């Protein structure tokens, strides 16, 4: 385990010190005050590293970090919120060999730090922007991201790499909250007088499973389920959350229409459907050009970049839908997003930051 005072990692140490402070500033999405604190800390780090603070904007009540040009050609896009409630990790920060651990280090505070240091001494039409609601779907920042992306020549997303590879494809997502309203009755004395919400939601689950499409890797996954109140009562209410994803927008539209057309099997039951389409897919047509360019830049540094498509979504999906050229997965090397084994490579901090700097300069040279 290291502390901020040690210099074990040589030129990587300043980045590791900055990363430690950012990780120790826990920032679960739902805690607005914590998100304000992490954005202020990020601005302070920008002053230390880049010589000037960030602008802290408010977008629909949430803080956004913005450093650099106000109408940038090249956007480095990050987020500073995490999925982890306060106190989820003990110890909060640790380093053993090449492995640094802490809440949100891989997704995606290491990526933010890599971008921050990549911009040291860089001038031109470039900006580093970080939001604070990505982990819950970017409900407040979506329009903000779309507007920025429409005007940019390139949007580089600092989400974590996948086994060291950048991400050229992401599934689109849709989220649903399905309520079934039935009728309570005594389960022993007169169950026939009730309308069983558990039975109704079971029929719905089977219909949802039939909506999947392997050709387009379309998944429709029932996740959280709650039904009933007591063991001897016909349940009058059931709630089901559904996670739908696909690489093809048309298939998400098909699934959306089918879910909205769901009907209960009992004529006396009532169904209520909330939610819908969230992020459109990030398709290869939006990423191929930047990937080929990044691959050439990486080769000059002795890196074999590689690319992959993944099921998870990011703000890169919104940027691609806005018509921007996008490349994702330019952040941390490690693994364990949203898991307690989350870690980021110490060695890769400097390597990936150097590559990002070279790539940004190449884009700015246009």
Q: Which of 216, 277, 200, 204 is nearest to 244 (CA)?
A: 277
What is the model's pTM?
A: 0.87
Strands 154-157 and 326-327: parallel
pLDDT in tens, 46-59: 999 999 999 999 99
| CATH architecture of the domain covering 178-279 | 2-Layer Sandwich (3.30)
Per-residue pLDDT at 366: 82
- Name the segment(s) of the chain with CATH classification 3.40.630.10: 10-171+281-364
- What is the DSSP code (8-state) at residue 232? T
DSSP assignment of 139-197 equals TTTHHHHHHHHHH-SEEEE-PPPBTTBEEEEE-EEEEEEEEEE-B-EETTT-GGGSB-H
pLDDT exceeds cutoff 60 at 243: yes
Contacts of 354 (CB under 8 A, 6+ apart): 118, 301
pLDDT at 8: 52
In 3D space, the residue among 363, 334, 365 whose CA is nearest the CA of residue 159 turns out to be: 334
Strands 237-246 and 172-181: antiparallel
Kindly report whether the peptide bond that precedes residue 108 is cis, defined as omega within 30 degrees of 0: yes
Q: How far apart are CA 72 and CA 70, in angstroms?
A: 6
Q: What is the mean pLDDT of residues 248-274?
A: 97
- For the chain, helix (H) and strand (E) counts, in that order, are 9, 18
Cα-Cα-Cα-Cα torsion 185, 190, 195, 198, nearest 10 degrees, comes to: 80
The pLDDT of residue 6 is above 60: no
The per-residue pLDDT for 12 is 86
pLDDT tens for each residue of 155-180: 999 999 999 999 999 999 999 999 99
Residue with tokens 């090249």: 74
- Return the pLDDT at 2: 39
Task: Quote the pLDDT of residue 121.
Answer: 95
User: What is the rounded average pLDDT of the residues 220-241?
Assistant: 97
The tally of CA atoms less than 13 A away on the side-chain side of residue 311 is: 11
Average pLDDT over residues 287-299: 98
56-106 pLDDT, tens digit each: 999 999 999 999 999 999 999 999 999 999 999 999 999 999 999 999 999
Average confidence score pLDDT of the chain: 95
Per-residue pLDDT tens for 333-366?
A: 999 999 999 999 999 999 999 999 999 999 999 8
Decide if pLDDT at 211 tops 50.
Answer: yes
Closest CA to 340 of 160, 102, 163: 102
Q: What is the CA radius of gyration of the chain?
A: 23
For domain 10-171+281-364, give the CATH number: 3.40.630.10
Residue intervals in the chain for CATH 3.30.70.360? 178-279
């Amino acid at each position: 385990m290291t502390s901020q005072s040690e210099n074990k990692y040589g030129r990587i140490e300043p980045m590791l010190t900055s990363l430690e402070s950012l990780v120790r500033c826990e920032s679960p999405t739902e805690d607005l005050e914590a998100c304000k604190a992490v954005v202020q800390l990020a601005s302070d780090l920008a002053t230390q590293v880049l010589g000037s603070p960030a602008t802290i904007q408010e977008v629909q009540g949430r803080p956004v970090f913005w450093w650099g040009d106000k109408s940038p050609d090249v956007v480095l896009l990050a987020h500073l919120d995490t999925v982890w409630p306060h106190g989820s990790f003990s110890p909060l920060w640790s380093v053993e060999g090449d492995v640094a651990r802490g809440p949100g280090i891989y997704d995606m505070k290491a990526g933010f730090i890599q971008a921050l240091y990549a911009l040291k001494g860089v001038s031109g039409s470039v900006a580093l922007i970080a939001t604070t609601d990505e982990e819950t779907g970017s409900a407040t920042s979506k329009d903000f991201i779309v507007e920025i992306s429409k005007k940019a020549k390139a949007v580089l997303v600092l989400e974590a790499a996948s086994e060291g590879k950048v991400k050229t494809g992401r599934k689109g997502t849709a989220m649903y909250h399905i309520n079934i309203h039935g009728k309570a009755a005594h389960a022993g004395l007169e169950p026939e007088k009730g309308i069983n919400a558990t039975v109704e939601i079971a029929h719905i689950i089977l219909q949802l499973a039939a909506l999947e499409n392997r050709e387009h890797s379309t998944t429709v996954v029932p996740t959280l389920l709650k039904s009933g109140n007591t063991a001897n009562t016909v349940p009058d209410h059931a709630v089901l959350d559904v996670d739908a994803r696909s690489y093809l927008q048309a298939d998400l539209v098909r699934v959306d229409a089918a879910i909205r057309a769901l009907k209960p099997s009992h004529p006396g039951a009532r169904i209520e459907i909330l939610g819908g389409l969230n992020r459109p897919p990030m398709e290869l047509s939006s990423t191929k050009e930047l990937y080929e360019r990044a691959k050439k830049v990486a080769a000059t540094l002795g890196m074999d970049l590689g690319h992959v498509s993944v099921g998870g979504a990011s703000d890169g999906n919104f940027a691609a839908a806005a018509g921007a050229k996008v490349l994702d997965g330019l952040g941390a090397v490690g693994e364990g997003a949203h898991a307690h084994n989350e870690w980021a490579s110490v060695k890769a901090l400097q390597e990936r930051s150097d590559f990002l700097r070279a790539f940004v300069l190449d884009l700015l040279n246009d």
